[in-house]
A and B are shown apart, each in its own frame.
Chain A
Amino acid sequence: MKIPVAAIRRLTLHDGPGTRTTVFVKGCPLHCHWCHNPECLSARPQLLFHDNLCAGCGKCADVCSHGAHTSAPHAIDRSRRRLCGQCVEACWHGALEICGRDYTPEALLPLLLRDAAFYESGGGVTVSGGEPLLYAEAVARLFALLRGHGVRLVPSASGESAWKAAKCFVFGSAADAELTGDFDLSAISGARIKHLDNGNLELSVPGAFVVIVR
C-alpha cells in the first residue's frame, strides 16, 4: 500500500483550516491547463531541473550512463531518463531533484506528526495533489493512523477520479469505521468532470466537487 509523494509542505495555511501540513501526491486523471502543481500530474517519479541553480558544470552528463544530459547549455533528453538518481547526487548546486517517492502510510505517519503541536488550534493534515483518491485505500489507511493521534484531516480531491474510489474512500473499505461520520460529504454525487480545451472544467452535475472535512 503505497502513496507516491511529490512533496510534504509544512505550515501551510491555504489547504484547509488552521496551520497544516500538506502532502502532495503524484498522479492526476485531470490535466487542467492551470494546474499549479504540474509535477503532480504524472504518478511516476520525475527528474526536475532548476535552471536558475545550474552552473553548467557538466557533472550530470559525466555520470549519466544513459546520456540523458547534455551541457552548454544544459538540456535533458527525457526520453532517455532512467531515474537512477546519479546525476542528482552529482549535482552539488541543487539544480536536479527527483520528484516522487513512494511512502507507505506507516512511513508517512512520523513525518506528519512532527508538527502535531501546530495542528492544535484547528489545523491538521491535508492530502492534496495530484489526486489523492487515486490511492484511496492507502490514503484512508493514513487517515486512520493520523486520526489515532487526534489529527484532523482534509482530503483535497477533485472528485473526478472514479466515483468508485470516492465511495470506497468515504463509505466503503476497511477504513469505513474510522472515517464515516468524521467527514462531511458535502457535494459528491454522480459527478463527472470534463476537461475542456479552453482550460475549463465542465461538471456534469453542478456542485460535485470536493470532499470537505467538518
Chain B
Amino acid sequence: MMNVERMSATFDEARFSDGLPQAEVNATIRRVYENGEHDVAPFAVTRARMLACALENVRLAVGRNDTFASVVERHYLDSRYGVGEIARIQGERAETVARRDFPEGFARTNSAWAEGRFFTQADLSHTSPDWDRILSLGIPGLLAEAEARHAANPTPFTESVIIACHAFHDFALRFASVCDREGRHDLATELSALAARPPETLHEALQLAILYWHVQETEGEWVRSFGIFDRQYLPFLERDLAAGRLTEESAEELLVAFFAFFHAESKGRDAGAPFCFGGYLPGEPLRDGCNRLTRLAWRAFRTLGTPSPKFSIRVNPDTPREILRFAAECIQEGKNAMVFANEPLVRKAMLRRGKAPADLANFIPIGCYEPAIMGKELSCTMQCVFNLSKPVEDLFADGAAAPATWEEAEERYFAALERDLREALAIARRWERAWNDINPSPMLSATMAECMERGLDVSQFGTKYATSGVVCAGLATAVDSLLAIRTMVFDRGMLSFDDFRAVLLADWEGREDLRQFALRRPPKWGCGDETADALARRICDLAADLIEKAQSAKPGGFQMGLWSIDWCIGIGSKMKATPDGRHAGTPVSKNSGANFGADAEGPAGVVESLSRLDHARFPDGAVLDVMLPPRTIAGEEGAEFLVNFVRTLFARGGQFVHFNSLSAGKLREAQRDPTKYRNLQVRLCGWNVRFVDLDRAHQDWIIREAEGSGA
C-alpha cells in the first residue's frame, strides 16, 4: 500500500534533473511578459507564451517508486498557485487595470475592506475545466480542435489556445524524457502516449489529470474541482477490470497513490483538491450514479485519511444509504474532509437562474460549496465578499442620530445594507469587465466547448454560463445584533441608544452584565425563533433581490452565496463591538450558522431556522457547519445519526453541510504538544487542515467552536 509519508518525502527530497532554478524561471517569465508588452502582442497570446515558458523551464522530478509522474517544482515557489512570477504579474496587472479603468471604485474597495464592509476583486477563477473533454479528447484532441478553429478563423484567442495546447503537449513529452533519464521507462512510455492520444486506462486517465492540473494552475487559475470522479473515471476502471489489467484491490491501491499525491504536494497547506461523487446521471428518468468506483474511491479516502483531497457528494433521495453511512464512518474517524450537497435543491436554484435541465447532471461544487456546471460555467464565486453585519455598526456611527423606534432602527439598517450592496456590486461589475485585461486563460478555455465554438476566452465569458458570486457573511451577527438593540433599547428600555453606542465603543468595558444579557436573552438566529428567523429571511431576501437584479457584465449575472469561509475572522478583526455581545475584533458569525454559543437549541434549532430561508436563492452556495461532540457521533447510533441529520437537513431545504467532531480538551493538548497531534485534522471552512498547522487565532477560533458544542 502506498505510504503517504513516503510520498511526501518524494517531494521534499525530489531530485530535480531538468529545468531551471526558481529564480531563473521567474526571470524568464518576466522577460516574456515584458517582450509581449513591448511588441504590443495581444495579451492572451503573451499569457499563453508565459505559460509555455513556465512549462518549458520549471523543474521536474520522478522517483523510483512514484506511481505517477507528478513532481513539479511549482508549489514551492512563492505563490499559493500559479508559478510565482505569473501570480505576481496577475496582481500587478489587476492593480494597474483597476487604477486605470475605475480608480475610484478601486480606492473604495480598499477603504471598504479596511473597515470590514466588503471587498471586490477579479476572482480569476473558481472554476473547473471540462474534465469530460480533457479525458475524451486528450492533449492531441484539444490541440487539433484549436488548430481547426484557427485555420477557419484565426484570432488572438485561437492563437493563444494553440500555444497553450502545444505547451501542454510539450510538457508531457518533456516529463517523458525526464522519466526516461531516471529509468522510469514505464511512465515515459505512458506520457509519450498521452501526448499522442486520449487516455485508455485508468492509470493514464489519472496521469493526464495530474498533468492538466499542473498546467492550468501554472497558467494561474486554480483547478477548483476534478469533476464528478466516479462517473468520469468509471469507463476506464471497467475496461481495466475487464482486460485484467486491474483488480479491485490494485485499483484501490492506485487510487490511494493518486489521492496521496494531492496531500503530498500541498502537505495540507492549501484548500484541498476537490473531487465530487454521486448524483444523478444525465438523462431521464433520474438515476443516481454511485457505482463501484465511488466505493473504491471512498475506501481509498478512508485509507489515506489526509486533509487533501477533499470529497463532496451530491445527495439525492436515491443516494445509496450505504455510501452515506461510509462517509459518516469516515467522519467518526476524524477523516472529515468532505461536504454533502443537496442535489434537488441545487438543481432548483440552478433552474431558477435559467440553466438548462440537461446541464444539471454536470453540476459540481466548485472549490468548497459553490455549485456550477462543469465545463459550461465560468463561476467567479468570490467576486465580492459582503458583510451583512456592517450596517449594524453604521447605526452607531459618530454623529448618527439615535433612532426613535425599533422600526426606524430596522429601516435604517436595511437602507444601509442596500446602499453598501449597490456600491459593492457596481465595483464588482468593473472587475468583471476588467478580467480579460488581467487574466486571459487559454488553457482553461481550450477545455470549454462553448469557448471554442464562440472563439471567446473564459475571461470574455465564452462559456455557456458565466456568473459572479457575492458571498454574504455575518448573517447571525446581523440578526442577533439587531434583535439585541430591539430588546434592550426599545422593548425593555435597559439603556438608551446613545448609551449603547458608548458601551460598544468601549468594547463593553465595565458592562459585562449587559454583555451577558445581550448574549443570552434577545432572540437569536439558529434557535428556531420565529422573530429572529423572520428577520434573517428579510435580510436574505433583500440581499438576494438586489444581487440578482444588479447589472452584471456577465450574461449569468451576480448570484448570492450565504457563507463566509474564514473571511469571518478577517471581517471581524476590522469591526467594533456589536450589540449581540461580540467583542471588537473577534470573528463575526461563520457561514450560515448561529453565533458561537447562541445555538441554545442545538443543531435541531439551527436546522429549524435554516428551513425558514429559501436556499434556492443562494445559487452561489450556502453551507452549515455542524460541530458535534465526539461522544454524540460515536458508535452505530452516531453514524446513523449523521446520515439522518444530512437527510433531514436536506429534506428541510438546506443546501450544503459538513461536520467537525472535536473535543476542546484534545485541541488544547494539541496546542501544547503539536508533535503528538500531527495528524489531527479539522474542517476549517470548506477545506481541511492539520490543526497544528493553523496559526494561533485560527486554533483558538476552532477551540471556541468545539467548546460551544459542549465537547
A→B interface (CB under 8 Å) = 10-11, 13-14, 18-19, 21, 55, 57, 59, 92-94, 114-115, 117-118, 120-121, 123
Contacts and interface: CB of A to CB of B under 8 A. Distances in A.
A6 B292 CA distance: 50
B640 A18 contact: yes
B500 to A, nearest CB: 15
A114 B604 contact: yes
B604 A118 contact: yes
B645 A19 contact: yes
Contact of B513 (A55, A121, A123): A55
A118 B601 CA distance: 14
B647 interface: yes
A55 B520 CA distance: 15
B638 interface: yes
B604 A10 contact: yes
Contact of B608 (A13, A19, A59, A114): A114
A13 B632 contact: yes
Interface in B600-653: 601-605, 608, 632, 637-638, 640-641, 643-645, 647-648, 651-652
A19 B604 CA distance: 11
B512 interface: yes
B102 interface: no
A156 B608 CA distance: 26
A92 B644 contact: no
Contacts of A121: 640, 643-644, 647
A18 B644 contact: yes
B96 to A, nearest CB: 53
Given A92-B520, A93-B520, 8 more contacts: A11-B603, A18-B644, A19-B640, A59-B513, A114-B604, A118-B648, A120-B644, A121-B644
Contacts of B605: 10
Contact of A114 (B516, B517, B528): B528
B637 A14 contact: yes
A93 B605 CA distance: 22
Contact of A123 (B512, B601, B638, B644): B644
- The CB with the most chain B CB atoms within 10 A, among A10, A57, A120, is that of A10
B123 to A, nearest CB: 36
Contacts of A117: 648, 651-652
- The CB with the most chain B CB atoms within 10 A, among A11, A19, A21, A59, is that of A11
B584 interface: no
Nearest to A111: B528
A169 to B, nearest CB: 27
Contacts of A92: 513-514, 516-517, 520-521
Nearest to A57: B513
Given A10-B604, A55-B512, A94-B516, A120 B648 contact: yes
Nearest to A21: B604
Contacts of B601: 10
A117 B646 CA distance: 11
Contacts of A11: 602-604, 641, 645
| 4 A-B pairs with least C-beta separation | A10-B604, A92-B517, A13-B637, A92-B516
A131 B643 CA distance: 32
A120 B649 CA distance: 12
B233 to A, nearest CB: 32
9 contacts: A11-B603, A13-B638, A19-B645, A115-B604, A117-B648, A117-B651, A117-B652, A121-B644, A121-B647
Nearest to A8: B601
Nearest to B635: A13
B644 A118 contact: yes
A114 B608 CA distance: 8
Contacts of B652: 117
A94 B520 contact: yes
Contacts of B644: 18-19, 118, 120-121, 123
A13 B641 contact: yes
A5 B528 CA distance: 20
B579 to A, nearest CB: 14
A94 B598 CA distance: 13
Contacts of B513: 55, 57, 59, 92-93
Contact of B602 (A10, A55, A59): A10
Nearest to B528: A114
Contacts of A93: 513, 516, 520
Contacts of B520: 92-94
A187 B407 CA distance: 60
B580 to A, nearest CB: 14
A115 B603 CA distance: 11
A19 B605 CA distance: 14
B554 to A, nearest CB: 37
Contacts of B648: 19, 117-118, 120
Nearest to A14: B637
A14 B608 CA distance: 22
A92 B519 CA distance: 9
Contacts of B632: 13
A65 to B, nearest CB: 21
A121 B646 CA distance: 12
Contacts of A13: 632, 637-638, 641
A183 B20 CA distance: 78
Nearest to B321: A121
A19 B641 contact: yes
Contacts of B637: 13-14
A8 B254 CA distance: 50
A155 B550 CA distance: 56
B526 to A, nearest CB: 13
A83 to B, nearest CB: 20
Nearest to B636: A13
A14 to B, nearest CB: 7
Nearest to B514: A92
Nearest to A17: B637
B518 to A, nearest CB: 9
A52 to B, nearest CB: 13
Nearest to B649: A117
Interface in B499-523: 512-514, 516-517, 520-521
A123 B648 CA distance: 12
Contacts of A21: 604
A57 B643 CA distance: 45
Contacts of A57: 513
A102 B254 CA distance: 62
A55 B515 CA distance: 13
A66 B645 CA distance: 47
Contacts of A114: 528, 604, 608
A94 B515 CA distance: 12
A206 B512 CA distance: 56
A93 B513 CA distance: 7
Nearest to A13: B637
A98 to B, nearest CB: 15
Contacts of B602: 10-11
Interface in B230-286: none
A142 B157 CA distance: 71
Interface in B572-610: 601-605, 608
Interface in B642-677: 643-645, 647-648, 651-652
B173 to A, nearest CB: 54
A46 B211 CA distance: 68
A120 B652 CA distance: 12
B156 to A, nearest CB: 55
A115 B609 CA distance: 12
A18 B639 CA distance: 10
B82 to A, nearest CB: 45
A92 to B, nearest CB: 4
A19 B521 CA distance: 28
Contacts of B517: 92
- The CB with the most chain A CB atoms within 10 A, among B514, B640, B645, is that of B640
Nearest to A91: B516
